[in-house]
Amino acid sequence: METPILGSPKTLLERAKSWYKNATGHERQEVIRIVAGVTVVVVGSLFTNLMLAPKYWALKDELNTKDTKITQLNIELTPFRTAALLAFGNGGSNGLARLAEQVTKLVKQFNTLDDITKQTEASSKRSEAALNKLQRRIPPEERKDLEAALQNLPKVPVAIRCQSITAEAKTFAVELHQLFEKAGFKPTLTIQDYIGWPINQAIEVNSAEHPPACALLVQELFKRSRYPWEGKVDRSLPTNSVRITIGLMQPDL
């Protein structure tokens, strides 16, 4: 009967014990070093696998999700593929030629729409620039000086009234309200949709002979701008108050 090459586990263990018992100190240290190294490798491998396991399952879930989405997209594309095959797939080279013709038409249509979009954007920019020129406003370079001058004037009630349906007039009235507010006044703002007169802008007081101390100075300050400011008398106003009326801007003739 042949002797097994490796032998039974019990025989192997007994041989190992016998060898270790008869081994020199150096041989024992080598065995311990090898066993320790193998143990470190095995434990390290197990630890690495435990650490990477969550990432592995997360990646697997992500791949499964993407596979599901691809399957759904393929299902959604099926009717279009079928339609394309029915329209162009039965004619051989002629079918491919018709498909190329349709693609060429689509490209031309896209280029046409792109040109129209660019023209519309350019026209919109030109219109915006034209509106900006028409918009009454206090020039930025003059705003600080005007605000500083208004801060030194006696603070009387100031009522700002916009009588126009145009956004341009309303924007100018709001800007004036903000200017007086920053200068320390407590202005009021009234916006009324008004068709027709008044036009341009006016400074109104109760009496031309005895106006509020700041009225003439305000009128003089505003006259420095490029817009004509008209002085008006309204006996219904309180004697120590100023009203600024913004109307429809008169176009340059």
- The answer as to whether 102 is a domain residue is yes
Q: What is the pLDDT of residue 81?
A: 67
Is residue 228 domain-resident?
A: yes
Place of tokens 């791949």: 63
Both 33 and 5 in one domain: the answer is yes
Query: Residue 189: pLDDT above 90?
Result: yes
Quick check: is 194 in a domain? yes
Q: Is 222 within the bounds of a domain?
A: yes
In a domain, 252, yes or no: no
- The DSSP-derived string for 56-80 is HHHHHHHHHHHHHHHHHHHHHHHHH
Residue 196 has pLDDT above 90, yes or no: no
Would the pLDDT of 159 be above 90?
yes
- Could you tell me if 242 and 144 lie in one domain? yes
Is the pLDDT assigned to residue 253 strictly greater than 50? no
Q: Are residues 198 and 149 part of one domain?
A: yes
**pLDDT 10s digits, 210-245:** 888 778 877 777 776 667 788 899 999 999 899 999
**The domain spanning residue 218 has which CATH number?**
3.30.70
pLDDT one-digit tens code per residue, 13-60: 666 666 666 667 776 677 677 766 666 555 555 555 566 667 767 777
Reported confidence tier of residue 161, pLDDT bands at 50, 70, 90: very high
What are the structure tokens assigned to 232, written together? 């008006």
Domains: count for the chain = 3
207 in a structural domain: yes
- Asked whether residue 101 falls in the same domain as residue 163, the answer is no
- Categorize the per-residue pLDDT at 1 as very low, low, confident or very high, splitting at 50, 70 and 90: very low
- In this prediction, residues 55-66 reach a mean pLDDT of 77
Stated pTM of the model: 0.49
More confident residue, 79 or 156: 156
Domain boundary pick from 54, 88, 122: 88
Residue 235 covered by a domain: yes
Q: Is residue 41 part of a domain?
A: yes
- The reply to whether 81 and 102 lie within a common domain is no
- Same domain (yes/no): 103, 82: no
Mention every residue, 6+ apart, whose C-beta is less than 8 A from residue 230: 200, 201, 202, 203
For residue 32, what are the domain limits? Answer: 1-88
Rounded to 5°, the CA angle 181-182-187 comes to 10
